[in-house]
Amino acid sequence: MNKLEVNRFLEYLFCLPFPIPLLRDVADLASGKNRGNGPLKRRMERRYMRLCRLQDELGRLDLKKGAANVSSGVSPEDFIFSQIDFSRYRKIAERDFDLLFPEGLTDFDEAFFKKNFGLGRKEIQSTIEESYKKAEPSAEVEDAASMIRGSPAAGEYRLERETPLILSLMRTLETSPEAAPLFTAAEIMEELQNLPHPIKEKLLPGIKQHYPLFVSSLDNALVTHSDGMTTKLFISPGGDLSGTFRPGNKPWTQVLIPAELITA
């Protein structure tokens, strides 16, 4: 299929009245119509949020102080670690908490969690759930929010049990530039299971051939983030699906799906 045929096929999938949110996001980004906010767009938003946090931390580093510390025997890693404000994880705004967790755990594969924490995703999810408690806004805050915005005030999540593990986990969820592939052929196959049997029977056998076409349809697609900044997706010379993010208007390019997974 050529690009036009792929886009028509994706638009056909987009219009099907069945729960295929990942494919709808692929179709929407390929068309440039910016409809809805499904799992693929939320993954891109979380990647962008993490890069914004990293960019913010880099911007606040005192390089002169860092050089002085290094010259006196402090490693660059220890100096950077000393500048991290872990107190920010004692209270997390409801919007940020809900975006980063629990859905944000799916941005990383099991090997990532095992390598960094020696725990699986389910164990990490339980650790976070046991450590945080949602705090609703007080009546006074609710009344003020209603008067100013005409809408309920947002709550926040408070850390009930502070440990080095939970602080490290939350920082990882908020700042790690590593991530699993943006989407895989297996995820698409799983999503197509939601289609009626006649359609599923027609699509599933050829999904592995369609997957590279779905990925390539995102070449030159734009993702608009919550702050209005855009990320451009592109197929690199090596065949990766990559994206150039602009946190703080500084370009950061990341591989979103490696070429070897696209052609496998």
Question: Mind listing the pLDDT tens digit for each residue in 67-85?
Answer: 555 565 555 555 566 678 8
Query: Residue 238 corresponds to which tokens in the numbers above?
Result: 């090596």
Query: Residue 227 corresponds to which tokens in the numbers above?
Result: 């702050």
* Same domain as 258, residue 162: no
Coil, strand or helix: which one is 154? coil
* Same domain as 186, residue 171: no
Determine the pLDDT at residue 62. 60
Boundary of a domain, candidates 156, 175, 194: 175
* Same domain as 170, residue 55: yes
* Same domain as 197, residue 164: no
Question: Mind listing the pLDDT tens digit for each residue in 188-242?
Answer: 989 888 888 888 888 777 777 889 999 999 999 999 999 999 999 999 999 999 9
Structural contact between residues 196 and 190, judged by C-beta atoms closer than 8 angstroms: no
- Report the domain count for the chain: 2
Determine the pLDDT at residue 141. 45
Query: Residue 169 corresponds to which tokens in the numbers above?
Result: 């986990």
Question: Mind listing the pLDDT tens digit for each residue in 167-188?
Answer: 999 999 999 999 999 999 999 9
Determine the pLDDT at residue 213. 92
11/22 Cα distance (integer angstroms) = 13
More confident residue, 226 or 264: 226
Boundary of a domain, candidates 141, 175, 209: 175
Boundary of a domain, candidates 175, 205, 233: 175
Kindly give, in sequence order, each residue whose CB lies less than 8 Å from that of residue 223, ignoring residues fewer than 6 positions away: 29, 41, 44, 48, 230, 231, 233, 243
* Same domain as 136, residue 30: no
| Domain residue limits at 237 | 3-40+180-262
Determine the pLDDT at residue 65. 61
* Same domain as 150, residue 239: no
* Same domain as 50, residue 161: yes
Question: Mind listing the pLDDT tens digit for each residue in 3-50?
Answer: 888 889 899 989 989 999 999 999 999 999 888 889 999 999 999 999
* Same domain as 69, residue 57: yes
Query: Residue 107 corresponds to which tokens in the numbers above?
Result: 């941005």
Kindly give, in sequence order, each residue whose CB lies less than 8 Å from that of residue 229, ignoring residues fewer than 6 positions away: 48, 245, 246, 247, 249
Question: Mind listing the pLDDT tens digit for each residue in 124-150?
Answer: 999 999 999 999 765 554 544 444 555
Structural contact between residues 38 and 56, judged by C-beta atoms closer than 8 angstroms: no
Task: Give the Cα-Cα-Cα angle 183, 20, 40 (nearest 5 degrees).
Answer: 35
Give the DSSP H/E element, type plus range, for residue 10: helix 3-15
**Residue 102 preceded by cis peptide, ω within 30:** yes
253/43 Cα distance (integer angstroms) = 16
Determine the pLDDT at residue 52. 94
Does 255 have pLDDT greater than 90? yes
More confident residue, 2 or 106: 106
Task: Give the Cα-Cα-Cα angle 187, 192, 195 (nearest 5 degrees).
Answer: 155
Coil, strand or helix: which one is 218? coil
